[in-house]
Amino acid sequence: MTTGADDPRPAFSGAAADALIEHRLSGQQVYSGALLDVRRDQVRLPDGGEAVREYIVHPGAVLMIPVLDDGGLIAVRQFRYPQNRAFIEFPAGKLDEGESPLETADRELVEEAGYSARQWTRLGVVHPVISYSTEAIEIYVGRFLRHVGAKLDPGEFLDVLRCTQADLYAAQDAGDLSDAKSVAALSMLTRWLTAPRRSIVVRVEGVVQGVGYREWVRGIAADARVFGWVRNRRDDSVELRLEGDRAACDAVANACAEGPRAARVTRVVVLPQPHDATLTGFDVRPTV
């Protein structure tokens, strides 16, 4: 639904027959700065007329919700020049060229908050300004934190805060937490923590093959009474599929950060999945 490779927007993902589609006819860059890439396109409307659409091209970003071992959260407070005031937010940063969202999360959490995380859970994605920007923000929860010291960029200043969910909701009520991405992330976190069941994939990286990891997982999954499977991957990681009670699945996923005695786990990634009613029991599957 574009005019070619010069279209900087995300690839079209809807139905070709959607009656609301606007077709791009031409486009130009009208401003390129240190941060902003402003475009102006001519489009054909659903009724055959034409219009101008102006928007900002953004590389994408990641927001991190760091969770301490006691359940507390890490937030930051920083001055936002366009609004001329300081805001409470979760740590976040834009993707550098060639980075994956997880690589950005690893880097930005250290830079802004001074922590590294061994387990990452993807909660989803938000589009903060769909009317005039291509920006998409991936939301991740970081757990099993280790304090390594902040490494702020030159000219970057912020306070690191330890708080609870209740503190952040109170800040939202008081108008001190109004940053759209952080409001959305807090809501997504609350929903995740209170969901009655889990349906997830867990990917475990590090020295996890040839150390009895799959049999160890099968044992703890059976004890937890969750359904699914475990398998090795050709990239040297181990992958699990878990279905069941929230607390039971979380216990298995959290245990994966340690693994059997001979394992050396460097990172665990948890990815929500659609419910699969066909999963029964727990087995070991072939390598993929």
**Which residues are known to be catalytic?**
214, 232
Rounded Cα distance, 35 and 32, in Å: 8
Rounded Cα distance, 117 and 90, in Å: 15
Reading the block at residue 233, the tokens are: 């991957």
